[in-house]
Amino acid sequence: MPFTQDHRTSILRDRAANYVGVALDGITREYPNMPYFIATGPGPYPTHRAFHPAFYGCFDWHSCVEMHWVVVRLLRRFPDAVPDGRARATLNELLTDENIMTEVAFFSDPNHRTLERPYGWGWLLTLYAELATWDDPDARRWTRALEPLADLLAANLVNWLPRLTYPQRTGVHPNTAFGLSRSYDHAQRRAEQGDGALLTAIHGVAARWFSDDADYPAHYEPSGTDFLSAALCEAELMARILGPTEFPGWLARFLPALAEARPETLFQPVVVSDATDGQIAHLHGLNLSRAWTFIAVAARLPVADSRIEPLLAAAEHHAEASLPYVAGSDYMVEHWLAAYATLLLSEPGP
């Protein structure tokens, strides 16, 4: 069966309960964890959970945030196919006013102003946008609780982006294009409500950094611990920024050989040699995030564009390589990979 949007939705519905179960187990699993804070004196130091009572699970803060998003998106889309009661009860315990204000205090600390930027910030704004656009009584309560943290991180982005002289073109967390893409839906919603500061900031830096990019050296990808493609993340963001009229021409300059499925290294799924190694395990995410970006880019091209077929074929091959590892694999994979599987299978595309 072709890897169409209907087919992807069918796969996700079939696996939604499993993904939500993995996510719920993760967001309530305190250990192991990787605390991330700036020490300004000798210990003892607060625990990771003391700093982050809402987002203490899943090994690290950003993974916990993105797995909250998995629970919310799949609960919203497939309420009859997931453990609804358990999901709502867990979110009720975690997304409280008190817990979120503790999270706000952490990110308001001047010593922590660079932490989780922009990756974790973008995923938090993705979670908030998912909740804020869901007409559901519980979602409205969770949205109100989360709003102060979303407002803080959005304001921090508006302050930071004009001062960022150069983007981060990398395959891991600091990637600027991916962080801005994850923030985009929230920025667009704020603009529709009369506050266009974040959307203006995103458009401004994307135009400044990426508009003139051409013949991008994607043949050097991947690096050994990538879970993102720097080339494809930039292309996906610029598809949002430029729209259907300008984007096809920009893409032709940026990656001129896509119709021939080149560069070959970009179109070939990566090999994960050791899923128990947290860094090597990132490569499963690269397969799924590449698949998502292939689909997102194809969706923004004209219907008869010769690049669409090889992009969608590559998306299917990459998905086949790593979707089997979302659940039932090592914790170094399980504590985050469902987010990329859900992104791939639920985002609109051809």
- Tell me the three-class secondary structure of 224-277, residue by residue: CCCCCCHHHHHHHHHHHHHHHHHHHHHHHHHCCCHHHCCCHHHHCCCCCCCCCC
Q: Does residue 312 sit in helix, strand or coil? A: helix
Q: What's the rounded Cα separation, in Å, for the pair 70 and 110? A: 30
Q: For position 84, which CATH number holds?
A: 1.50.10
Report long-range pairs for 34-43 (Cβ below 8 Å, ≥24 apart): 34/59, 34/60, 36/60, 36/61, 36/115, 36/116, 37/106, 37/111, 37/112, 37/115, 38/109, 38/111, 38/112, 38/115, 40/111
What phi and psi values does residue 117 have, to the nearest 5 degrees?
Answer: -105, 130
The boundaries of the domain holding residue 179 are 5-346
- Which of 272, 267, 261, 308 is closest to 291 using CA atoms? 267
Only one residue has tokens 């600091």, namely: 174
Q: Which amino acid is at 235?
A: A
d(CA 198, CA 59): 30
The token duo for 191 is 């603009």
Task: Specify the pLDDT at position 1.
Answer: 63
Identify how many contiguous H helices and E strands the chain contains and give both numbers: 15, 0
pLDDT at residue number 69? 98
Alpha-helix runs per DSSP H in 32-136 = 48-51, 61-77, 84-94, 97-108, 119-132
Burial class (CB within 10 angstroms; exposed 0-12, middle 13-18, buried 19+) of 209? buried
Terminal C-alpha separation, the chain? 14
Number of compact structural domains in the chain: 1
Provide the pLDDT for residue 349: 85
Mean pLDDT by 10 residues, the chain (350 residues): 90 98 98 95 94 98 98 98 98 98 98 97 98 98 98 98 98 98 98 98 98 98 97 98 95 98 98 95 98 97 96 98 95 97 93
Distance CA 86, CA 303 (A): 42
Number of Cβ atoms within 10 Å of the Cβ of 234: 27
